[in-house]
Structure 1
């Protein structure tokens, strides 16, 4: 176990092409789960937790860690499972999502495995909209579930998608005519957050559930055109996605003569440990950490260059 804990911090600096390292853990029972090591700051035995008055029912308490006060979420209870009872076997995974740091209480941490995003698949169709899964994979002949952490966090503390009045401008969409914006994200919650935030710009939007889905849609839409920007004005893509990540998607787009003119904004919760050199390497036009509606909308307006199209 000490080897796993010692290696997490080193591995958070790794950025691979269409690959990830997954920290495996358990909640209550034998089912195994995974979280991208790139999101993880630290893993530690569960520290002493302080209860807060009227705290959310999924918050186990707060811990004072390295000069920060961090809320610790019972990850089992937050996903509809039994409550985790902190003991000598329980751990807290300190992770950064959407510009904030959270602790996730888990009943046990196993090891880190290296995988290709091609081995990470969308959840089964029958999982339903209420599912907390964003992806699944197979390790040691067992299914490992990857949780939709953005959905969990949004249910505990909903993120506002409201644009400020000075950013709203429905004429942006009017300037594009029939051209659309594509949003690629494996989290249903995240896709809808982006969609709601950009609706006040009057944009027509199409959605893709991961990088491969986005690339398939783009290749289909470009048929009969000289360039995809005749139909799609901009792509907003998450980085972490099953089957094909945002880095690989961007690289595929920029290496394709029919697709390369379309601007790509990488929009991701990998805010704290993001490698800017990787964005330049794959050719993305911009990187926006999740989730600030005004910042995203301003970047969209910038790369659409609306004044040149009107």
Structure 2
């Protein structure tokens, strides 16, 4: 599996690292990419074990370093049957296809996706990440979290969390047991938190979490919007929860710029990410940027937020 330390070294407040890959249909290439934080490894298509009685998009099971990983097919994303001749002429012509499996790690879930082409990992400026058009913002079948303009084409950052949720897999939940949390609710009731998060799935989880503990949530979809909201209303927020990798501006850059302007602000900051690494957490605290937890773990999340008020 890809080491967390390798990924963490690639995190920079102004850059993002992606693994480009493609799906092919009628010799046309759909250009996609994954944030390397969500990539555990890339393997060749080889020996596999068929799954009993499991319907599409699941294909088979493979074993990676002792971990059983279900593999799914995402070719329906490349629905190019309706392309006209003009569009086909402008598609990239593909000379060869070498199928691989990208092993994705989302929270506690390992899942493989079959792709036709993988390319070298590349580092791009965070400013190059464009949010998808608003017209598709609520489309359940549009699995894109950001876009990159590559000359005359776009590369789409694949929203693996949204896709997994769309096929009925739960990647996180908020427990419904209120009785054991009555003391916590007393402490947190009426508190207001700013959530800076680009993933629709994690936005929904955060909404459930805030409602459970009777708190108010304001949402920013990326670091740029989060910075604007902080500069305008920081005194109204009891705490901030921010993802790290986001389009336009990531969470680390957002907090660095905020603290450089509001030097005396003491609003507690909590970063969460799919990476769990003690050294990274230590670095953030030593720089005075905030605390860090693995997302989305309700127990750790509530414990950390409660520590802000005790």
The TM-score with structure 2 as length reference comes to: 0.82
Shift in CA distance, 55/167, structure 1 to aligned 2, threshold 3 Å: farther
Deviations 1:221-250 (A, max 9, x none): 2xxxxxx2x311111111110011111112
Q: Which residue of 2 aligns with 1:225?
A: none
Q: Which residue of 1 aligns with 2:207?
A: 195
Q: Which residue of 1 aligns with 2:250?
A: 245
Q: Which residue of 2 aligns with 1:150?
A: 161
Q: Which residue of 2 aligns with 1:53?
A: 52
Q: Which residue of 2 aligns with 1:99?
A: 108
Q: Distance in 2 between matches of 1:143 and 1:217?
A: 29
Q: Which residue of 2 aligns with 1:301?
A: 306
Shift in CA distance, 296/66, structure 1 to aligned 2, threshold 3 Å: same
Q: Distance in 2 between matches of 1:210 and 1:116?
A: 15
Question: Does the 8 Å contact 2:50/2:61 carry over to 1?
Answer: yes
Counterpart among 263, 267, 272 of residue 272 in structure 2: 267
Count of matched residue positions in the alignment of Structure 1 and Structure 2: 286
User: Offset at 1:215?
Assistant: 0.7
- Structure 1 segments unaligned to the other structure (5+ residues): 1-5, 222-227
Shift in CA distance, 62/163, structure 1 to aligned 2, threshold 3 Å: same
Structural mapping, 1:214-225, within 5 Å: 214-221=226-233
Q: CA RMSD in A?
A: 2.9
Shift in CA distance, 56/293, structure 1 to aligned 2, threshold 3 Å: farther
- Structure 2 segments unaligned to the other structure (5+ residues): 81-95
User: Offset at 1:209?
Assistant: 0.4
Q: Which residue of 2 aligns with 1:25?
A: 21
Q: Distance in 1 between matches of 2:278 and 2:78?
A: 30
Question: Does the 8 Å contact 1:164/1:294 carry over to 2?
Answer: no
User: Offset at 1:163?
Assistant: 4.8
Question: Does the 8 Å contact 1:198/1:297 carry over to 2?
Answer: no
Q: Distance in 1 between matches of 2:126 and 2:253?
A: 10
Q: Which residue of 2 aligns with 1:172?
A: 187
Q: Distance in 2 between matches of 1:23 and 1:14?
A: 12
Shift in CA distance, 112/75, structure 1 to aligned 2, threshold 3 Å: same
Q: Distance in 1 between matches of 2:133 and 2:190?
A: 39
User: Offset at 1:62?
Assistant: 0.9
Q: Distance in 1 between matches of 2:218 and 2:160?
A: 23
Question: Does the 8 Å contact 2:19/2:119 carry over to 1?
Answer: yes
